[in-house]
Amino acid sequence: MMTKEEARERIAALSSALEQHNYNYYILAKPTISDYEFDMMLEELARLEREFPEFLSPSSPTQRVGGDITKEFKSVKHRYPMLSLSNSYSKEDIEDFINRIKKSVDGEVEFCCELKFDGLSISLQYENGILTRAVTRGDGVQGDDVTTNVKTIRTVPLKLHGDYPPFFEMRGEIVMPFESFDKLNEQRIEAGDDLFANPRNAAAGTLKLQDSKEVARRRLDNYCYYMMMDDLEERYQTHYESLQAARQWGFNISNYMALCKSVEEIFDFINYWDVKRHELPFAIDGIVLKVNNYEQQQTLGFTAKSPKWAIAYKFKAEEVETELQSVDFQVGRHGTITPVANLSPVLLAGTTVKRATLNNEDFIRQFDLHYGDTVTVVKGGEIIPKIIGVNFDKRQQGAEPVVFTKVCPVCGTELIQNEGEAAWYCPNSQSCPPQVKGRIEHFISRKAMNIESLGEGKIEFLYDAGLIKNVADLYDLTYDKLFGLSNDKVSFKEKTAQNIIDALEKSKSVPFERVLFALGIRNVGEVTAKTIVAEYHDIDAIMKASVEELSAINTVGEVIAISVKAFFENPVNLSIVERLRAAGLQFAKAEAPASDKPQLLAGKTFVVSGVFTNYSRDGIKQAIESYGGKNASSISSKTDYVLAGDKMGPEKRKKAESLGVPIISEADFEKMIGGEDATQEKTSETKAENEQLSLF
């Protein structure tokens, strides 16, 4: 039995890890653990909270539906909340579920067994037979209005036929069939873009595209599995019946459903699909069981998170054995070396896996990897494949151990390692090709200079052709230099060349903070660049600042300050900055337009955390600034207030409490600014701002 103190610590650790995984999953669409691992952690947390209810926090991951909202589409409230399903992994779990149900309802119980589509849930609203609104799940209470994009999906009926009700909602899943997924990734290889790890991420990325034409091209699909309306049970007695009716009206309803009465029948269905799923044209990650009868469903009701009348059975994360053929050592833009395994191609959870990350030298040592080893690779259907073990019995005699390179695989320079770090670096930052190209790619990226018409493929071409060796060379490009260039991957036709020149010209008005970020100074991300620019008016002032002065800026620690100083002490960087300045880029802060708001928050520094009701995250930060306040990204003794929304992380709370920084709510904040209403239109935001692994 755990002591109270141990339980408190474990609950805090699990809660913060789950928050992070939730964020990775719902916002970044790049989970780093499998659903199974996540659910096991969640279960442990729920169990501890039951044992030690005094540590159950209202913001615990067990208390919420999960999810968050994404960018640029209008955020709208769901008419009926979009709940999730509780998960199960074994026959015992299913037996428990059935027994629970049988105890609570009268009469025989019939279960509708369905495929659990591995995509994104969608709510489709129909008025008088016309699709009026399509909304993503978001946080379950409100989601993004993606109607324009959803309308391009062929399996979503725009107009119904038959005796449909005048107002109702259909819930379903948007999926990307394997065929569309493979085609999309092939095109991305050609364009030199990052690949999507799996069909669900690809569907998520597609649904968030601004250009609905591109959405149409990518060929998504939709399957509907649940009808919602007032008095539904007066029209139909069972869920199955409602879906058959919906099929008549034009909805895409799966043919693969079965009505079962016993655990045996249910398990026949589950076992059949656990094998046959590999023949489906789209991904499923389990089976859903629903009590078929509506009256019984009503008796059972809901928890805050999910219906008590339904459960998902999740298939085991798949693993396969395959051969480790070779190891590539990739060089990042800061010179970090990442080992990547090349595997004998193997089918895993519906996609072909050829590569897996090996993280760093310690990882290779931990598995004592040898070339030709038979390794076990897992992928929970959505995560990036990873090696979880080596079959030593199959190791060939005389197999060579994988040795972490000590010289840069591209430029041959001897690698260096910083004390206490597992990573190795190539120090040849100025002429090691992947570092140079990586920096140029970073410079043109959306959050930096946003030179959209230049992609990875074109940068590679121009670099190889000797036309660009650093970011300043971009501004020496002319239409005449570009037009007519081509190889088998890219070609600079009239329009392409002109677009690039136009985009370069346009980038000259990109604000200073983004230019500073674009320079690619180690440890200086988007937020830090903004923080530095808030303190220093122009690049000359930053260059002159000492490490002490820079580290004195709230949230800029010594590590960042040293990186900044080192960058500007390098004569090569200085000459690039001078050339960029001469080209006309912004190296000074634009005078902020005077705010028309009373400067009620002058001199106060805020750290914003969580999700807000009346503002997007950027919106509330803008409000702080327009009332004279400052934003910082992490809590320190210099923070005046932590502005906490819903789902604020427990670690942040702990830090604020330990430093005695007051934590205020959205309502407190609105009072502070004189009870003004939110001026921002409610938009959601993408938080996928971190550098992401670009292996697949």
- Residues classed as catalytic: 116
DSSP string, 435-488: HHHHHHHHHHSTTTT--TT--HHHHHHHHHTTS-SSGGGGGG--HHHHTT-B-S
Nearest CB to ligand IVH, comparing residues 45 and 312: 312
The least distance separating ligand IVH from the CB of residue 302, rounded to whole angstroms, comes to 8
Q: Binding string, 260-289, against ligand IVH, x = CB under 6 A?
A: ----------------------------x-
The tokens for 362 are 């310690």
C-alpha triplet 660, 661, 663: angle, nearest 5°: 120
Nearest CB to ligand IVH, comparing residues 121 and 684: 121
| Residue of 20, 57, 84, 430 that binds ligand IVH (CB under 6 A) | 84
Residue with tokens 């923080």: 531
d(CA 599, CA 94): 59
Nearest CB to ligand IVH, comparing residues 294 and 627: 294
Choose the binding region for ligand IVH from 78-86, 471-479, 534-542, 582-590 (rule: CB under 6 A): 78-86
Q: Are residues 469 and 529 in contact, defined by beta-carbon separation less than 8 angstroms?
A: no
d(CA 677, CA 665): 15
The least distance separating ligand IVH from the CB of residue 298, rounded to whole angstroms, comes to 13
* Residue 226 interacts with ligand IVH (CB under 6 A): yes or no: yes
Q: Are residues 537 and 589 in contact, defined by beta-carbon separation less than 8 angstroms?
A: yes
The least distance separating ligand IVH from the CB of residue 81, rounded to whole angstroms, comes to 9
Choose the binding region for ligand IVH from 114-122, 212-220, 444-452, 620-628 (rule: CB under 6 A): 114-122
Q: Taking CB under 6 A as the criterion, which residues in 485-514 touch ligand IVH?
A: none
Residue type, 469: K
Nearest CB to ligand IVH, comparing residues 310 and 560: 310
Q: Binding string, 528-567, against ligand IVH, x = CB under 6 A?
A: ----------------------------------------
Nearest CB to ligand IVH, comparing residues 380 and 438: 380
Q: What is the DSSP letter of 530?
A: H
| CB-nearest residue to ligand IVH | 121
The least distance separating ligand IVH from the CB of residue 464, rounded to whole angstroms, comes to 45
- What angle do the packed helices 4-26 and 35-51 form, to 10 degrees? 150
d(CA 154, CA 120): 16
- What angle do the packed helices 558-569 and 571-583 form, to 10 degrees? 80
Choose the binding region for ligand IVH from 209-217, 305-313, 458-466, 640-648 (rule: CB under 6 A): 305-313
Choose the binding region for ligand IVH from 306-314, 467-475, 564-572, 678-686 (rule: CB under 6 A): 306-314
Q: Are residues 295 and 238 in contact, defined by beta-carbon separation less than 8 angstroms?
A: no
| Residue of 23, 117, 463, 536 that binds ligand IVH (CB under 6 A) | 117
Nearest CB to ligand IVH, comparing residues 312 and 454: 312
Choose the binding region for ligand IVH from 116-124, 233-241, 389-397, 650-658 (rule: CB under 6 A): 116-124
DSSP string, 384-447: PPEEEEE-GGGPPTTPPBP---SB-TTT-PBPEE-TT-S-EE---TTT-HHHHHHHHHHHHSTT
The least distance separating ligand IVH from the CB of residue 288, rounded to whole angstroms, comes to 4
The b-or-e profile of 504-528 (16+ CB within 10 A means b, else e) is beebeebebbbbbbbbbbbebbbbb
The least distance separating ligand IVH from the CB of residue 578, rounded to whole angstroms, comes to 54
The tokens for 121 are 């849930």
Nearest CB to ligand IVH, comparing residues 49 and 285: 285
Nearest CB to ligand IVH, comparing residues 257 and 384: 257
Residue with tokens 């005048």: 166
Choose the binding region for ligand IVH from 83-91, 188-196, 324-332, 626-634 (rule: CB under 6 A): 83-91
Q: For the chain, give the number of residues.
A: 696
d(CA 613, CA 232): 31
The least distance separating ligand IVH from the CB of residue 284, rounded to whole angstroms, comes to 8
Choose the binding region for ligand IVH from 20-28, 82-90, 182-190, 549-557 (rule: CB under 6 A): 82-90
* Residue 116 interacts with ligand IVH (CB under 6 A): yes or no: yes
| Residue of 14, 29, 33, 85 that binds ligand IVH (CB under 6 A) | 85
d(CA 203, CA 152): 13
The least distance separating ligand IVH from the CB of residue 77, rounded to whole angstroms, comes to 17
CA Rg, the chain, in Å?
Answer: 28
| Residue of 11, 76, 83, 289 that binds ligand IVH (CB under 6 A) | 83
The least distance separating ligand IVH from the CB of residue 215, rounded to whole angstroms, comes to 19
d(CA 141, CA 45): 24
The least distance separating ligand IVH from the CB of residue 352, rounded to whole angstroms, comes to 24
The b-or-e profile of 128-137 (16+ CB within 10 A means b, else e) is ebebebbbbb
Nearest CB to ligand IVH, comparing residues 83 and 524: 83
d(CA 203, CA 435): 31
d(CA 18, CA 38): 7
What phi, psi does 693 have (nearest 5°)? -65, 130
Nearest CB to ligand IVH, comparing residues 168 and 226: 226
The least distance separating ligand IVH from the CB of residue 253, rounded to whole angstroms, comes to 10
| Residue of 26, 89, 225, 269 that binds ligand IVH (CB under 6 A) | 225
Q: What is the DSSP letter of 427?
A: -
Residue with tokens 């991305």: 188
Choose the binding region for ligand IVH from 109-117, 396-404, 458-466, 571-579 (rule: CB under 6 A): 109-117
Q: Taking CB under 6 A as the criterion, which residues in 149-178 touch ligand IVH?
A: 171, 173
The least distance separating ligand IVH from the CB of residue 226, rounded to whole angstroms, comes to 5
C-alpha pair distances (Å), 573 with each of 208, 331, 443, 463, 565: 37, 20, 14, 18, 11
The least distance separating ligand IVH from the CB of residue 228, rounded to whole angstroms, comes to 9
CB atoms within 10 A of CB 679: 12
Selection from 304, 166, 162 nearest residue 247 by Cα:
162
d(CA 266, CA 88): 13
Nearest CB to ligand IVH, comparing residues 36 and 404: 36
C-alpha pair distances (Å), 23 with each of 206, 590, 648: 19, 34, 12
Four-point Cα dihedral 562, 567, 569, 575, nearest 10: -170
Nearest CB to ligand IVH, comparing residues 239 and 437: 239
* Residue 121 interacts with ligand IVH (CB under 6 A): yes or no: yes
Q: Are residues 682 and 614 in contact, defined by beta-carbon separation less than 8 angstroms?
A: yes
Nearest CB to ligand IVH, comparing residues 21 and 617: 21
Burial class (CB in 10 A: 0-12, 13-18, 19+), 221: buried
Choose the binding region for ligand IVH from 77-85, 323-331, 476-484, 618-626 (rule: CB under 6 A): 77-85
# of chain residues touching ligand IVH (CB under 6 A): 15
Chain contacts with ligand IVH (rule: CB under 6 A): 83-85, 114, 116-117, 121, 171, 173, 225-226, 288, 307, 310, 312
